């Protein structure tokens, strides 16, 4: 039922975006429907994944994450108590930096202490306030959690490098767009900025399609 409702919201959002923005309309035709269905993993596991993937290429982060999963016998979800009890040197051996080991253990402690309480009724800002006291969780991690775990449809990750690259390509800028430019452009995609975000990532990864002109 959740996925059906989300599908309806995505379809409605795409229809509105395509109607008001011809560039998004072309990107939808080229790349299809955005892949932002919520993951089935726990909130804790989703945040572990985000920390592992911070500031790494997808391939490198994916390899480390798989080794971390194997360390715990590839169970569907990580157990914060198990991670907290694992020796730091063991976690380092899967490829995690010392800093990320600290982040993962602080996250585990917050969950075990009951300090992280997330439910669907909380606003994006309230969820951010709930998560950012954890070491290593900043706005980027919060934004990824909101989009890919909670399926919030009006999130725009201003700090994400891929978003900056995508906008730079669409705007044909010499440098990355300024925060002011990003705010001005993304405002016209409200309340479906998460959908536009997905297409900017596609542009950043694949390059600007020849049939697309500047915004």
Catalytic positions are: 160
Q: Tell me whether residue 91 is exposed, middle or buried, using C-beta atoms within 10 angstroms of its C-beta: 0 to 12, 13 to 18, 19 or more.
A: buried
* Distance (Å, whole) CA 64 – CA 111: 22
Residue 107: CB atoms within 10 Å: 26
Alpha helices in the chain (DSSP H): 2-20, 22-31, 43-53, 58-71, 80-85, 88-93, 98-112, 124-131, 139-148, 161-171, 179-187, 193-206
∠ CA 46-37-50, nearest 5°, is 20
Angstrom CA distances, 75 to 71, 72, 81, 100, 186, stand at: 10, 6, 14, 21, 39
């Amino acid at each position: 039922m959740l996925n059906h409702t989300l599908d309806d919201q995505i379809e409605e959002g795409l229809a509105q975006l395509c109607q008001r923005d011809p560039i998004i309309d072309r990107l939808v035709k080229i790349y299809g429907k955005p892949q932002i269905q919520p993951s089935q993993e726990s909130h804790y596991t989703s945040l572990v994944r985000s920390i592992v993937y911070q500031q790494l290429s997808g391939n490198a982060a994916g390899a480390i994450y798989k080794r971390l999963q194997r360390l715990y016998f590839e169970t569907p979800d990580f157990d914060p108590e198990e991670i907290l009890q694992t020796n730091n040197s063991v976690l380092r051996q899967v490829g995690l930096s010392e800093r990320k080991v600290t982040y993962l253990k602080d996250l585990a402690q917050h969950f075990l202490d009951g300090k992280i309480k997330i439910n669907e009724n909380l606003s994006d800002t309230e969820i951010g306030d709930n998560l950012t006291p954890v070491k290593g969780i900043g706005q980027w991690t919060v934004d990824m959690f909101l989009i890919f775990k909670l399926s919030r449809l009006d999130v725009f990750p201003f700090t994400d490098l891929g978003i900056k690259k995508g906008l730079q390509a669409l705007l044909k800028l010499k440098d990355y767009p300024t925060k002011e430019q990003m705010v001005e452009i993304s405002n016209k995609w409200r309340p479906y900025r998460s959908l536009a975000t997905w297409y900017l990532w596609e542009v950043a990864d694949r390059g600007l399609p020849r049939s697309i002109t500047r915004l």
